[in-house]
Amino acid sequence: MKRCIYLAVLLLTASCTARTDHNLNSVLWVQTAAEYPANCHQAYNSALMNIDAAIADSRWTGALEQTNDFSDLPPAVIFDLDETVLDNSAYQAQLVKEGSGFQLSSWDQWVGMRQAGSIAGAVEFINYLQNQGVEVFFITNRECRKRSGSASPCPQEKDTIENLNALGISGIKGSNVLLKNEYADWVSEKQGRRAYIAEKYRILMLFGDDLGDFIPGVQNDIAPGKRREIAETYHANWGTKWFIIPNPMYGSWYKVLKTPPSTYLQGVTAKDSEK
Ligand SMILES: [Mg+2]
């Protein structure tokens, strides 16, 4: 009997460990490593060095969707929100602590709490843009969905603006926060929303934590190697027009891996001469 109880405890411990370990290192890195905010500052400081030239040069655009005659259009910069401007690592940490996974219901609760922090360097850079008269847009896959107790079809928009206000980003209009499903064709793929902004603005720069914040067609059903090739194609844009914040916790980089992800690990292979 004792042996059975011991085995049961052992199995339970093993299964709990497996679940809670998922994402542990990634969230720890974001929440404790000095290297993480240093990376974020690196991105926003690089942008700050280039932004005045981008504003002054009417031939400058940072969006692949900008195929119109844009030289006379007013300047704008597009940001993703989550893990680009807003730090949701507390939500991710809670999932690790509870041994649970992402669910729209718990995520929506978190959005409603308006307690996301700010990514290092983001608030200062956005304030600089606003002072220079550059229009600031957010294209986010935070999703418009009805919430019990709210009459609004999209309470998430107000939550997000209030959260930004609390962090020191004010003056953001609802029309400048483009959420997923706010309109029927505003889907996870962000290309359509970038094109929508490109019609009326000269898009100077893009900020994101996911390749999909910059390039269309890289979020689903695409091999990791192909994504790397595509990112490499645009190597001149990184750090000049496109600024990416590291996100080891989640993203389309992980979604495109088929299960089990460990099959993608490339270990050491002995050379023929050593065999
Ligand atoms: Mg994001």
**Total domain count for the chain?**
1
Q: 207 C-alpha vs ligand 1 centroid, how far in Å?
A: 9
Chain position carrying tokens 């360097």: 121
Classify residue 171 as left (phi > 0), alpha (psi -120 to 50) or beta: left
User: Residue 56: which CATH number?
Assistant: 3.40.50.1000
Residues constituting the chain: 275
Does any domain span residue 85? yes
- Is 116 a member of any domain? yes
CA 261: distance to chain centroid? 21
Q: What pLDDT, in 10s, does the model give residues 213-240?
A: 999 999 999 999 999 999 999 999 999 9
How far, in Å, is the centroid of ligand 1 from the Cα of 70? Answer: 27
Q: How does pLDDT run across 45-104, given as a tens digit for each residue?
A: 999 999 999 999 999 999 999 999 999 999 999 999 999 999 999 999 999 999 999 999
Distance 247 CA to ligand 1 centre (A): 8
Cα 30 to ligand 1 centre (Å): 14
Residue 223 lies in domain: 23-257
In a domain, 13, yes or no: no
With contact defined as beta carbons under 8 Å apart, do 181 and 23 qualify? no
Structure tokens given for 71: 């030289």
Question: Could you tell me which residues come within 8 angstroms of residue 50 by beta carbon, excluding any fewer than 6 positions away?
Answer: 205, 240, 241
pTM: 0.91
Amino acid, res. 273 = S
